[in-house]
């Protein structure tokens, strides 16, 4: 399904309710499988959380997690530690290219039985679950924090807990802290000092515990971009958000101040308002090593505003749903943008034109579709394979229509 987005503007003062964070949801689903006394409120309705839920509740021996990176990594650790269970974990063609060796090696060094069924270092995996008794492991931390979170989530169920030593520059740190924080919420003792994390064993929970998932901040990023590209006075209210978020992408509230967008927190909602038209004296410079999922949003905002940007800390973007650096370059250039990319950065020149009716390829990447959609506030464009958004944000197109976007097939 390709969608045509007509040149449009946002209705004044709209309110949108966004589904729960997929990162928090997928951690809590795994923890709930280990500790059934956990109850979850505002669970994400994303495809990635649905595949996670199905994998944990079903009896299938072959589990296909499609494009869901967190599900792939978290379930690898989960099934490796479930005695007497044998499963094959597989995914989409892209998932079969996304590396998992660092996690598999770490689990094997703890005693796990995992074999590669196609290419060494990537899914699909055959996992023969067993009780792991070793309690110390060292792994590289500069490729994906998901490997670390996967080990941390199963750690309190290991007989002796776990001590993890992280090598290299640690990437996506807020996601590791989110995992530790959720563990703390269910009463697990954790420490994170320098490059060492420790998790104490916790065989079971004494009481039921209800955890409310905050709505997804990465999904909120598209509304920040919409506001940045809208006239002064435009407002959007989003629910349900807290000033104290576990999600690193909540840094959006600070980042988008540079684009004239202010955020007000009030009783579990945020109201975003474009309060000023910014005269950019210099380009935007940001290191996004802590919040890689909002890189596409920010690059497209800058293109839409005609401001240059230099985004760094992007080394993980090449191994996500697609090579996001190359995808951004291809599609921004089609629109008339000028940019250079390296293995960890993107530099965009101030745009001089925006070619109307450009058809944006989405490369099976939800964030390509959603990051480019706000440009409809500037010109008409086509988003190809627009249904990709369901990976993280099922209602995305309906919510844009509610805002006043004109969308047709």
Ligand X SMILES: O=C(O)C1=C[C@@H](OP(=O)(O)O)[C@@H](O)[C@H](O)C1
Ligand Y SMILES: C=C(OP(=O)(O)O)C(=O)O
Q: Could you tell me which residues are annotated as the binding site for 3-phosphoshikimate?
A: 22-23, 27, 144-146, 172, 293, 320
Q: Is the dihedral of CA 310, 236, 365, 406 positive or negative?
A: negative
Q: Is 398 labeled as catalytic in the residue annotation?
A: no
Tokens at 93, concatenated: 């063609």
Binders of ligand Y among residues 300 to 329 (CB under 6 A) are 320-321
For the annotated binding site for phosphoenolpyruvate, the residues are 22, 69, 98, 146, 324, 367, 391
Determine, following the binding rule CB under 6 A, whether residue 64 of this chain makes contact with ligand X. Answer: no
How far from 75 is each of 78, 110, 147, 185, 304, CA to CA, in Å? Answer: 5, 16, 11, 21, 39
Please, which residue, 123 or 260, has the CB nearer to ligand Y?
A: 123
Binders of ligand X among residues 17 to 36 (CB under 6 A) are 23
Binders of ligand Y among residues 339 to 378 (CB under 6 A) are 367
Binders of ligand Y among residues 67 to 86 (CB under 6 A) are 67-70
Binder of ligand X out of 124, 292, 337, 374 (CB under 6 A): 292
Determine, following the binding rule CB under 6 A, whether residue 290 of this chain makes contact with ligand X. Answer: no
Q: Which of 47, 64, 105, 293 is catalytic?
A: 293
85: buried, middle or exposed (CB in 10 Å: 19+, 13-18, 0-12)? middle
> Count of CB atoms within 10 A of residue 12's CB?
12
Residues 55 and 63: beta-carbon distance below 8 Å: yes
Question: What residue 322 binds from ligand X, ligand Y, none (CB within 5 to 8 A, per partner kind)?
Answer: none
For the annotated binding site, the residues are 22-23, 27, 69, 98, 144-146, 172, 293, 320, 324, 367, 391
Please, which residue, 174 or 260, has the CB nearer to ligand X?
A: 174
Residues 110 and 131: beta-carbon distance below 8 Å: no
Binders of ligand X among residues 175 to 234 (CB under 6 A) are 175
Please, which residue, 319 or 407, has the CB nearer to ligand X?
A: 319
First to last CA, the chain: 7
3-class SS at 47?
A: helix
What's the number of CA atoms in the CB half-sphere (13 Å) around residue 296? 32
Q: Residues touching ligand Y: how many (CB under 6 A)?
A: 9
Q: Which backbone phi and psi does 398 adopt, to 5 degrees?
A: -65, -40
Binding mask 187-226 for ligand Y (x = CB under 6 A): ----------------------------------------
- Which long-range CB contacts under 8 A does 273-282 form with residues at least 24 apart? 273/227, 273/233, 273/234, 273/235, 274/227, 274/228, 274/230, 274/231, 274/232, 274/233, 274/234, 274/235, 275/232, 276/232, 277/232, 278/305, 280/305, 280/307
Determine, following the binding rule CB under 6 A, whether residue 82 of this chain makes contact with ligand X. Answer: no
Question: What residue 38 binds from ligand X, ligand Y, none (CB within 5 to 8 A, per partner kind)?
Answer: none
Determine, following the binding rule CB under 6 A, whether residue 392 of this chain makes contact with ligand Y. Answer: yes
Q: Which residues bind ligand X (CB under 6 A)?
A: 23, 70, 144-146, 149, 171-172, 175, 292-293, 316
Q: Which residues bind ligand Y (CB under 6 A)?
A: 67-70, 293, 320-321, 367, 392
Q: Which positions are annotated as active-site residues? A: 293
């Amino acid at each position: 399904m390709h969608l045509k987005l007509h040149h449009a503007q946002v209705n004044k003062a709209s309110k949108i309710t966004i589904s729960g964070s997929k990162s928090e949801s997928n951690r809590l689903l795994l923890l709930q499988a280990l500790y059934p006394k956990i109850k979850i409120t505002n669970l994400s309705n994303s495809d990635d959380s649905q595949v996670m839920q199905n994998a944990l509740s079903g009896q299938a021996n072959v589990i296909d997690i499609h494009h869901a990176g967190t599900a792939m990594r978290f379930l690898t650790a989960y099934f490796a530690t479930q005695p007497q269970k044998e499963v094959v974990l597989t995914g989409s063609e892209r998932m079969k290219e996304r590396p998992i060796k660092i996690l598999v090696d770490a689990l094997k060094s703890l005693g796990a039985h995992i074999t590669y069924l196609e290419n060494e270092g990537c899914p699909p995996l055959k996992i023969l679950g067993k009780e792991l008794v070793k309690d110390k492991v060292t792994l590289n931390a500069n490729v994906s924090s998901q490997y670390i979170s996967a080990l941390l989530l199963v750690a309190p169920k290991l007989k002796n807990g776990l001590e993890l030593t992280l090598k290299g520059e640690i990437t996506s740190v807020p996601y590791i802290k989110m995992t530790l924080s959720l563990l703390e919420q269910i009463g697990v003792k954790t420490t994170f000092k320098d490059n060492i994390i420790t998790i104490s064993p916790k065989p079971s929970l004494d009481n039921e515990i209800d955890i409310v998932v905050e709505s997804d901040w990465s999904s909120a990023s598209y509304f920040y971009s919409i506001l940045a590209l809208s006239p002064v006075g435009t407002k959007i209210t989003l629910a349900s958000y807290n000033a104290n978020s576990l999600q690193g992408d909540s840094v959006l509230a600070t980042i988008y101040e540079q684009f004239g967008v202010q955020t007000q927190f009030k009783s579990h909602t945020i109201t975003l308002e474009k309060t000023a038209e910014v005269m950019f004296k210099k380009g935007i410079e940001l290191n996004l090593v802590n919040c890689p999922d909002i890189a596409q949003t920010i690059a497209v905002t800058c293109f839409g505003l005609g401001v240059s940007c230099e985004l760094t800390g992007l080394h993980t973007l090449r191994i996500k749903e697609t090579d996001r650096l190359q995808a951004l370059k291809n599609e921004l250039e089609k629109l008339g943008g000028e940019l250079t990319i390296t293995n960890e950065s993107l530099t965009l020149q101030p745009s001089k034109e925006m070619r109307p009716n450009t058809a944006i390829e989405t490369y099976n990447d939800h964030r390509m579709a959603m990051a480019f959609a706000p440009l409809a506030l500037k010109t008409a464009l086509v988003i190809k394979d627009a249904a990709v958004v369901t990976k993280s944000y099922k209602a995305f197109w309906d919510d844009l229509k509610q805002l006043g976007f004109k969308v047709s097939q």
